Amino acid sequence: MKILGIESSCDETAISVTENGRTVLSNIVASQIDEHRLYGGVVPEIASRRHAENISWVAKAALEEANCTMDDIDAIAVTYAPGLIGALLVGVSFAKGLAMSTKKPLVPVHHIAGHIASNYITHPDLEPPYLCLVASGGHSHIVEVKDYTHYHVVGRTRDDAAGECFDKVARTLGYEYPGGKFIDAAAKLGDPKAYDLPKPRVQGSEYDLSFSGLKTAVINLVHNAEQKGVPIDREGMAASFQATVAKALVDKTMLAAEHLGYKTIGLAGGVSANSGVRELLQKECDKRGFKVYMPELKYCGDNGAMISCQGYYDFLAGKRADGSLNGIATLSLDAISE
């Protein structure tokens, strides 16, 4: 079964064709990073306009790379939430029009579920149930993956997402957008104990996370040093910050796994590309005898393959669009949790 997957939740116009939820036949991504870098972050209006300009040729390229036509496609999957409203509507509108004109089933896919499904591409042996840490620019969740289409969120950030903090701290340290890869590279050259940063915690909620205080602490340290003319060890700060975020994410995940009885752990989302998070999660899982699964780096960020893959399982579960996609673009993962 071939699924055409469409992803446009932020600044990547991405379309892919996959077969049977595991094999990627094509994966085309039109990135807008160079343009948004001029503004230090994603500008929603610009992102929406570029999606509208790119989506047709990206779809054509995905079909050509997969060596198929719409006649070979069994269903169309599209990200419906969460994300930037304007950006989502471009993808959803295109998918609805394509589905109507070709008389193909339309399958709505939740963006976070898509990130989780990226592991099925890299690891064909992975099957639910397992516990998954999903960390990205907009989300930091610890999710019970009960089966391919049923989830339960056991922990989440109460404020900023881990990826957002990486970008804000990177900008404060003078690195370009998107900041995650620059922090990661600098951290390899610095001492993770160079700065004593606050450890994120949430009172009365053992699996939840909080990163706003950590972000503010780093920004204040850097600004105070600049005002006093004191040099900042950028590599040391990057290493200290990255180590603190990684420890918070991994510690909460390990705590949830131990309490809930999971020995299989997944990692997903844009922050899953961070070497500090990957290494610490692997280390802590090895220590406990847990099996850990991480997506290949090219599937960590937003891509159509993960939406196509999850769309396959949603299709098998009988999920279809009912014509109201435009009205549900702000649903959270709770809307599909059980």
Digit-coded pLDDT (tens) for 305-330: 999 999 999 999 999 986 554 433 33
| pTM of the predicted model as reported, rounded to 2 decimal places | 0.92
pLDDT for the residue numbered 322: 66
Percent of the chain at pLDDT > 70 equals: 95
Alpha carbon dihedral 269, 267, 22, 6, in 10-degree steps, equals -10
322: how many CB neighbours lie within 10 A of its CB?
Answer: 9
Q: Which two tokens stand for residue 87?
A: 């950006």
d(CA 258, CA 330): 32
Tokens at 73, concatenated: 């496609």
For the cut 70, the answer to whether the pLDDT of residue 147 exceeds it is yes
Q: Which residue carries 């690891």 as its tokens?
A: 123
pLDDT digits (tens, 9 = 90+) for 101-136: 999 999 999 999 999 999 999 999 999 999 999 999
Residue 23 has pLDDT above 80, yes or no: yes
Residues of the chain with pLDDT > 90: what percent? 89
The pLDDT score that the predictor gives to residue 331 is 38
Annotate 173-195 with b (16+ C-beta within 10 A) or e (fewer). Answer: bebebbbbebbbebbeebebebb
Q: Are 79 and 255 in contact (CB under 8 A)?
A: no
Backbone angles phi, psi at 322, to 5 degrees: -110, 15
Confidence of residue 200 (pLDDT cuts 50, 70, 90): confident
The pair of three-digit structure tokens given for residue 116, joined into one six-digit string: 């989780």
DSSP letter at 335? Answer: G
CA distances from 60 to 9, 16, 67 (A): 19, 10, 11
- Asked whether the predicted pLDDT for residue 336 surpasses 50, the reply is no
Residue range 54-78, pLDDT digits in tens = 999 999 999 999 999 999 999 999 9
Question: Residue 209: CB partners within 8 Å, gap ≥ 6?
Answer: 140, 155, 156, 157, 158, 162, 200, 202, 248, 249, 252
Mean pLDDT, rounded, of the chain: 93
pLDDT tens readout for residues 235-262 = 999 999 999 999 999 999 999 999 999 9
Extract the tokens encoding 61.
């390229």
